[in-house]
Amino acid sequence: MKKLLILTFAVLAFAACAKESSQQQPVQTDNTVAQAPAAYTLPAVLGGEDFVLEKENPSKPILVASMAGFCGYCKKMLPLIDEMAGKYKDKNVDIVIAFVDPANDKLKEIDVVKNAKNAKIHYNAAHFGQDMGVTGFPTMFFIGTNGETKKWIGADPAYIELMSATIDESLK
């Protein structure tokens, strides 16, 4: 009986933790970023050119989504960001998915990565994420040509509209 009671308690505790962690609360912030290197070279996941990510006053606006290959929330946001990137394909803006993963072999096998058509997808962005203060995935950053930065944390599809509005404003 004692073992059954302990087992029941353990199952209930585990279920409560799983439920709590599955209800990620996205947070939008408008924080300045820490001082660190001004540029990062990110290798391409699916071939192509490396991307040089300018953190301070880039030549054109950049939206960077910091993600991790193991992150389920990132896998939900990636197609939405990729679709948004299609809207800006012929505009003077870079939309980059920057995976913190150090190697791209496993990333190449993720369906949402293989199916992405518009966003620039790169890896080995851990230093960028640390310097920018990434504390959870996905974290999206807008870096404007005038030094303006915005930051969105979490997998809220409503962020797509906010990020689009930010990009549109910067292109005016």
> In the chain, where are the structural domains located?
27-171
pLDDT of residue 153: 96
Query: What are the pLDDT digits (tens) for 58-97?
Result: 999 999 999 999 999 999 999 999 999 999 999 999 999 9
**31, 153 contact by CB (below 8 A):** no
**10, 108 contact by CB (below 8 A):** no
- Alpha carbons within 13 angstroms on the beta-carbon side of residue 42 total 30
What is the mean pLDDT for each group of 10 consecutive residues in the chain (172 residues)? 44 39 46 64 93 90 97 97 96 96 90 96 94 94 92 96 96 92
pLDDT of residue 21: 38
pLDDT of residue 67: 97
- CATH code given to domain 27-171: 3.40.30.10
- Alpha carbons within 13 angstroms on the beta-carbon side of residue 74 total 23
Q: How far apart are CA 25 and CA 22, in angstroms?
A: 9
pLDDT of residue 13: 41
Cβ within 8 Å of residue 146, ≥6 positions away: 57
pLDDT of residue 55: 86
pLDDT of residue 5: 40
pLDDT of residue 47: 87
pLDDT of residue 37: 73
pLDDT of residue 9: 42
Provide the 3-class DSSP secondary structure of residue 20: helix
